Structure 1
Amino acid sequence: MAGVMKLMMCSVLIAAALIASVAPPCDAALSCTAVISFVRPCNPYVTGTGPIGSCCIGASRLKDAARTTSDRQSVCNCLKSVTRGYSQAKFSKAEGIPRLCRINIPYKISPSTDCTKVR
């Protein structure tokens, strides 16, 4: 009996995963966790422990993932909160990533940016 229940639960989980994979995406904004996963490769560059390396790939993918105004505002707010704890040297490096990676974003990476004005 327990084996049958496990099999049924596995079937339900597989079915749920399949449904979720083909369901249309919702308009939810990007989470800060998602933003951080995109820019994690930038950490060595920003902290001065490595080259810019794959940072540009992650930053470019993040820009492409931020399709809506809500997404861009979420990304802005997340980057703003992450950079608050940076020293001036680290902050300057983070601020320069769009330029170095040749990525055009509609706001400045700064703790003083008003993310509600990002479109």
Structure 2
Amino acid sequence: MGSSTSTVVNGQAASVTCPSALLQLLPCLPFLTKQVPSPSTQCCSNVKLLNDEANTAAIRQQLCKCFKPAAITYRVDPPVAKALPSLCRVNVPVPIDPNIDCNT
């Protein structure tokens, strides 16, 4: 019998964690670090999926707190990161900005 990796919060499975979100965005790393000129199809598919999963303010705040230090660690280029949603045709409800306050 296998073990479950889902976390239950308020009676519902929490589908988004920082490690899972970072793994989802891994195909975007070459674009985000300016190694390639455009995001891959897999990157954009994962951005769309992650955006759909981040369907509450609490999840978006959690992901913001996850992505800010990761962007520094992986040397993500801020203007490139800001362009990613539009290049992937995804309407992200929060600004992509390294100076954003994740608590608002």
Structure 2 length-normalised TM: 0.76
User: Kindly tell me: are residues 99 and 30 of structure 1, through their superposed partners in 2, closer, same or farther at Cα, counting changes over 3 Å?
Assistant: same
Q: Is the 8 A contact 1:79 1:109 kept in 2?
A: no
Higher percent of residues as helix: 1
Aligned partner of 1:66 in structure 2 is 54
1:29 deviates by: 7.6
Percent of aligned pairs with the same amino acid: 29
CA distance in 1 between partners of 2:86 and 2:7 (Å): 34
Aligned partner of 1:55 in structure 2 is 43
User: Kindly tell me: are residues 24 and 34 of structure 1, through their superposed partners in 2, closer, same or farther at Cα, counting changes over 3 Å?
Assistant: closer
CA distance in 2 between partners of 1:34 and 1:106 (Å): 20
Higher percent of residues as strand: 2
**2:71 paired with 1:83:** yes
Q: Is the 8 A contact 1:29 1:74 kept in 2?
A: no
**Coordinate RMSD, CA, aligned:** 2.6
Aligned partner of 1:114 in structure 2 is 101
Q: Is the 8 A contact 2:82 2:96 kept in 1?
A: yes
5+ residue gaps, structure 1: 1-13
Structure with higher Rg: it is: 1
List per-residue Cα deviations over 1:8-54 (Å, max 9, x = no partner): xxxxxx1x63xx48x99435583221110111110111122233112
Instruction: Work out which structure has the larger RCO, using CA pairs closer than 8 Å and 6 or more positions apart in sequence.
Output: 2
CA distance in 2 between partners of 1:60 and 1:24 (Å): 22
| Aligned residue pairs, count | 98
5+ residue gaps, structure 2: none
Structure 1 length-normalised TM: 0.68
1:58 deviates by: 1.0
